[in-house]
Amino acid sequence: MSRQIRSGNERARTRKAALAAVAGAGLLTLTACDGGEPTPGPSPTAEASATGIVVGAGPTDQTETVAYVWSQALEDAGMDVEVRKIEGGRAGYLKAVEEGEIDVFPDYSGDLYLELRGNQPEGAGTEEAQEPTESPSSTEVPSPEANQAGGDGNIVDTLADMLGSGQQGVTDGDVESAVADQLPETAQILDAAPAENKRVLVTTSATAAQLEVNSIDDLAEHCQDLTFGAIKGEDQASVTAAAVSDTYECTPGQVREFDSQTDVVQALLEGQIDVAAVLSATPAIDDNSLHVLEDNQDALVPERVLPVADAELPKEVADEINGISGRLDTDALILLTRMTTSSTPYTSEEAADYWYGTVQP
């Protein structure tokens, strides 16, 4: 793959053109003040360019790459853009939007919902989950009763309570509506991208053939004899083992936890575990021909790339983000992830620049 990346000079020219446009708008306004008919003030786009749009990198490496994709689109629209990292995870980014430190940031809908409900998973939504592990450990599987007694229950339960729906069939739209309801008045969500990165259960093709399973429903009768693997913290959170136990009555014989997704997949390939909970946009699924088990009762958390923005974000900025987000599908997210996690990785900015160049005329 050749690196078709825009040079720093090209980016500089874009920023200079934006600043020149803003300066020109200011000059016209000053000229009008000398006499004659007054002219309108700068448009929202010009105002955005003058003050600069700050895009938060979001809580994961993937969201940082998405943030740079947005910045490319906004720069091409003539705006001055900065991508900024914020400390404190999701809570930090939400606070930064509320306080006006950033204008918008990308996140994943299900994990954001869990954060807003005070039940954030400790695994996939953190940068630590992407680091190599030192050693796996074993843990007891929480019972459905213990999970429900712990507070919020799994996402299906809490959404059912909020939306008045049944236990099954929670959709992306349900989660996004619930997120919008939970956000403070100072924030809003823009259009979700088609890109999905939800948790899925996978087995090797050999295990799927041996057990004759294609879905989690099929797996249920075997669960007590199987060892599941998950990113550290998610076996106890309301997103994986507990949700599967509740919805499918599938309680694994053992759950082993790992510090990174890479290590979960490696354990699966080495036969240390039988089933792995991973993220659907990981290249490791295709690279290792893993078999994704259908979640036909929607027990696992729906996750789409979701922009969270200041409630007063200029319409022109929102339109640009919505436009480029609409072209960001799961295949694109897998490509961006592959580029930033390969043995010779691209930076988030380089990967975003490459992909953005492939979808622009």
pLDDT at 233: 67
Alpha carbons 191 and 201: distance in angstroms, whole number: 27
Alpha carbons 57 and 54: distance in angstroms, whole number: 9
Contact by Cβ (8 Å): 141, 255: yes
Kindly state whether residues 133 and 39 are assigned to the same domain: no
Count of the separate structural domains present in the chain? 2
Contact by Cβ (8 Å): 339, 281: no
Q: What angle do CA 72, 61, 125 make, to 5 degrees?
A: 130
Kindly state whether residues 328 and 261 are assigned to the same domain: no
Question: What CATH code is carried by the domain that includes residue 162?
Answer: 3.40.190.120
Question: What CATH code is carried by the domain that includes residue 325?
Answer: 3.40.190.10
Domain boundary pick from 249, 270, 293? 293
Kindly state whether residues 154 and 250 are assigned to the same domain: yes
The segments of the chain whose pLDDT lies below 50 read 2-50, 121-156, 160, 162-167, 235-238
Examine residue 142 and state whether it is found in any structural domain, yes or no: yes
* Kind of pairing between the strands at 227-231 and 254-258: parallel
Kindly state whether residues 160 and 71 are assigned to the same domain: no
Contact by Cβ (8 Å): 112, 177: no
Which value, to the nearest 10 degrees, does the dihedral of the CA atoms of residues 195, 199, 201, 205 take?
30
Examine residue 140 and state whether it is found in any structural domain, yes or no: yes
3 state SS of 199: strand
Domain hosting residue 16, numbered range: 8-108+306-359
* Kind of pairing between the strands at 305-310 and 104-108: antiparallel
Examine residue 99 and state whether it is found in any structural domain, yes or no: yes
Domain boundary pick from 237, 270, 293? 293
Examine residue 122 and state whether it is found in any structural domain, yes or no: no
Kindly state whether residues 314 and 289 are assigned to the same domain: no
Kindly state whether residues 89 and 206 are assigned to the same domain: no
H or E stretch including 137? strand 137-139
Kindly state whether residues 327 and 231 are assigned to the same domain: no
Burial class (CB in 10 A: 0-12, 13-18, 19+), 294: middle
Alpha carbons 82 and 164: distance in angstroms, whole number: 41
Examine residue 133 and state whether it is found in any structural domain, yes or no: yes
Q: What is the largest CA-CA distance in the chain?
A: 85
Q: How crowded is the C-beta side of 330, counted as CA atoms within 13 Å?
A: 12
pTM (two decimals):
0.75
Token pair, residue 198, equals 């939800």
Question: Which residue from 111, 115, 106, 69 is spatially nearest to 86, judged by alpha carbons?
Answer: 106
Examine residue 76 and state whether it is found in any structural domain, yes or no: yes
Kindly state whether residues 158 and 62 are assigned to the same domain: no
Burial class (CB in 10 A: 0-12, 13-18, 19+), 296: middle
Kindly state whether residues 334 and 209 are assigned to the same domain: no
Kindly state whether residues 248 and 103 are assigned to the same domain: no
* Kind of pairing between the strands at 227-231 and 275-279: parallel
Find the DSSP H helices in the chain: 8-33, 44-51, 61-76, 89-98, 109-116, 144-149, 155-163, 172-182, 205-211, 216-219, 241-248, 261-269, 284-287, 315-325, 330-341, 348-359
Examine residue 35 and state whether it is found in any structural domain, yes or no: yes
Kindly state whether residues 145 and 266 are assigned to the same domain: yes
Examine residue 115 and state whether it is found in any structural domain, yes or no: no
Alpha carbons 41 and 361: distance in angstroms, whole number: 32
Domain boundary pick from 266, 293, 320? 293
Kindly state whether residues 75 and 223 are assigned to the same domain: no
